Amino acid sequence: MRPGAIRRVLGGLLLAALLVGAVAARAAPPELQGYRTDNYRAPTPATVAGGTALDTAAARQVWDKGGAVWVDVLAAPRRPANLPAAAVWLPVPRRDIPGSVWLPDVGRGALDPKIEAFFRANLDRLTKHRPDMPVVFYCLANCWMSWNAARRAANWGYTRVYWYRDGTDGWEAAKLPLATARPLPGYR
C-alpha cells in the first residue's frame, strides 16, 4: 500500500474512533460529585464511585451465584392528588428481579430524614450488619435513583456495592424472570 493510502486509512480510522468516542461520551454523562436531585429518568454515567456498574450479563451472573442482596429503589406510585376520593385507583403493579427487596424512594438525591433512616436500617438488616456483603441496586434503565442509592451505600462504607444500570428494563429485554413486587412497609 502506498504511504498516501496508508495515511488516508489511518486518518479514517482515527476519525471513526473520535466519532465513536463522541457518541459514547454523549450516551454516558460524567459522574456527579454529589447526588442527582431531579430529572431522574435521564442518561446515567457508565460508572459509580465506590461501586461496580453491571451490565445485564454480569447482573445475571451475580443473581445466579446468589448471596447478594438485591435492592429495587424505584419510587412507589402515589395516588394522584387531584383524583376524587371516591375514584378507584389501581397503580400498575411493579415487576422486579426475583428475590429483591423494594425500598421505594431511597434513591432520591435529597432524602427526607425518615426515608434516610428507613434506608440505613433496612440496608443494615438486609446485609446482616456486614458492610462487605454484596448489594445490587437497580430500578429502570436511565434511572439516576439506583445510581444515587449505590453511591450513597458506598459513601456509608459498604464495600461491595453493585449498580445494575439497565435495571428491570434490561432484565426484561433479556427475557429473564420478573416477579410482582410490594414495597417494604415503613417507607412513608
In tens, the pLDDT along 107-156 reads 999 999 999 999 999 999 999 999 999 999 999 999 999 999 999 999 99
Q: Among residues 170, 176, 172, 178, which one has the least CA distance to residue 44?
A: 170
**pTM to 2 decimal places:** 0.83
Q: Within 10 Å of residue 123's Cβ, how many Cβ atoms?
A: 23
CB 132 within 8 A of CB 23: no
Three-class DSSP category at 183: strand
Strand partners, 83: none
Three-class DSSP category at 136: strand
Q: Tell me whether strands 101-102 and 69-72 are parallel, antiparallel or unpaired.
A: parallel
CB 93 within 8 A of CB 180: yes
Average pLDDT value for residue range 27-39 = 86
Q: Which three cell numbers stand for residue 174?
A: 433479556
Q: Among residues 72, 71, 167, which one has the least CA distance to residue 127?
A: 71
